[in-house]
């Protein structure tokens, strides 16, 4: 028995069901992963966060081999690229959270920093939020755009699609995702207003 793995799976299920209960995900559109040992554990294709169970995770080896009967999410490549880009990232969550997705549909003058800094907490938890050009979900085009957009930050908005964040563990990724959604909500309601931003 692997108590550490069991705890990660327990946290993952709690996060998934909490995101579902609070309306941050719908249907089977979200995916989540974490690293354990040399493997990536990622939600299986077509899984619903509202009913997620530990058995719904696929285990993928460092070589990309699926170790078990569960087929991984088609967006595994996005997760893998975040892990390869930053060794400190140990968990990744991708959703279609409402305000983050709304914000990803707008035109932004600076794609490397798209969320206005009205409160200090987003950059404290994630850093700048980068907008990734649109590519069909799960497509090689999206993966290429994402690869070209990778920087030192841990948070991204996929254009007309939704947020993807990585962090040091599952709960930190969840808290950062929640902060991103709240920041996008504030930005959406203040768009066009002469609101004061933080001076950094």
Report the catalytic residues.
75, 121
Which whole-number Å values give the CA distances from 144 to 6, 118, 147, 176, in the listed order? 34, 31, 5, 25
Report the half-sphere exposure of 130 (CA within 13 A, side-chain side): 18
Question: Are 15 and 93 spatial neighbours (Cβ–Cβ below 8 Å)?
Answer: yes
């Amino acid at each position: 028995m692997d108590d550490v793995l069991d705890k990660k799976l327990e946290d993952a299920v709690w996060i998934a069901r909490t995101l579902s209960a609070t309306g941050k995900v719908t249907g089977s559109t979200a995916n989540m992963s974490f690293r354990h040992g040399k493997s990536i554990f990622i939600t299986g294709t077509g899984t619903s966060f509202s009913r997620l169970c530990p058995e719904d995770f696929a285990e993928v080896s460092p070589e990309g081999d699926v170790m078990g009967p569960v087929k991984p999410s088609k967006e595994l490549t996005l997760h893998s690229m975040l892990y390869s880009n930053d060794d400190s990232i140990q968990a990744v969550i991708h959703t279609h959270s409402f305000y983050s997705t709304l914000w990803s549909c707008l035109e932004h003058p600076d794609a490397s920093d798209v969320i206005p800094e009205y409160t200090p907490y987003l950059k404290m938890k994630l850093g700048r939020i980068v907008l990734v050009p649109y590519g069909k979900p799960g497509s090689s085009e999206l993966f290429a755009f994402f690869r070209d957009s990778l920087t030192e930050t841990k948070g991204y908005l996929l254009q007309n699609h939704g947020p993807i964040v990585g962090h040091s563990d599952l709960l930190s990724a969840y808290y950062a995702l929640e902060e991103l959604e709240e920041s996008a909500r504030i930005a959406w309601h203040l768009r066009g207003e002469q609101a004061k931003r933080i001076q950094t």
